[in-house]
Structure 1
Amino acid sequence: MSENTPTSGISADYAQRITDDLAANRREQDRARAELTRLQEELVQLEEGEQILVKMQEVLGAAEKPAPGRSKVRKAAASVPAARRAKSGTATRKTGDAPKSRARAGRQAPAGKTAASKAASLKGAGEPTWRELVTGYLADQREPKSAAEVAAALTEAHPQRTPQVTVVRNTLEQGVAHGLLERSKQGRSVYYSPVPASELEAAGASAK
């Protein structure tokens, strides 16, 4: 047992030293983390302070720079008697209405011009209405057609307008309401056909 004592003592010393070093390392880690946190917080405070100072500098810079000609205007106003300033103010108020009215007229003119140009372009285009397209197509058909069939035919004939089935159906129903078209049902499907010319003539004669 006496031979193992020195070795055991050396091992114990090394173990204790490692334990102490490990504890010191962990303390340094904690200190570094705390320092890092403090530095981060300090950096955030400095950045916020910088933003505040920049804003104050901008405000002070704008206040220190007078508008061009402001000093001359103040001197001229000081040299003009009060009575003359009052008269000039009255004249300014009277004549100031004209520019405002001209400005309002200028704003209204483009809007009216735009609406007129749109109306002229639509009128000049000469494109038939949906009702004309629908009634014209059905007039050439020998059998009643559904809204989907009418929409498909008009899409093929007028691809630039791309009619939707809902629009065509609404147009067909309007034609029925105005006595231009007839509605018939086959099962769950609804079909439309033009009113015969004789019935239209009879309706027109009775209306007279």
Structure 2
Amino acid sequence: MSKNPPAPSVTADYAQRVTDDLSANRSEQESVRAELARLQEELVRLEESEQVLTKMQEVLGATPKQTAKKGKSGKTTTVPAARRSNGKAAAGKVGTPAGRKTSKKAAPPKKPGEPTWLELATAHLTGQSEPKSAAEVSAALTEAHPERAVQVTVVRNTLEQGVAQGLLERSKQGRSVFYSPVVALSAQPGS
């Protein structure tokens, strides 16, 4: 009489299959995490652009009520105008309507004569021999300018602004993003 195949080989096959499935699951999780991080960075850039565009719109004299947004339904919705007191922006802050508190992400106002965050970040990166992350630039600016409240989010947004203006380059290494100054064509060998 023949016996059934030994149970250990079936168990080993299932164990290998579970191990393979677990490995594939973890790889997929990593892929999704990377995509999520990319989308979060893109959202931060878009929010920054929205803030800049809103301020530009206010400077140009157009109020948010005069513009319309289209939703997914295709219908046009009106955005309420910013609150004003006596026709002027409250508290003397440009771009901050009365009754609205500034968010944690907003950069503290700079004093007259102080360099902008973009100027500080660009100057710091220009003196570096290798690309730096937003956290590294933030730490360096905190050390160099202890009198100014340095926030990593503000520095990251500033670095992205520098990329948008063509002053800085962004590079990715795995899930990390690094920034470096744009090398001028005349500075490159062979030009």
TM range (shorter): 0.3 to 0.5
In terms of fraction of residues, the more helix-rich structure is: 1
Which is greater in Rg?
Answer: 1
TM-score (ref. length: structure 1): 0.37
Higher relative contact order (CA 8 A, sep 6+): 2
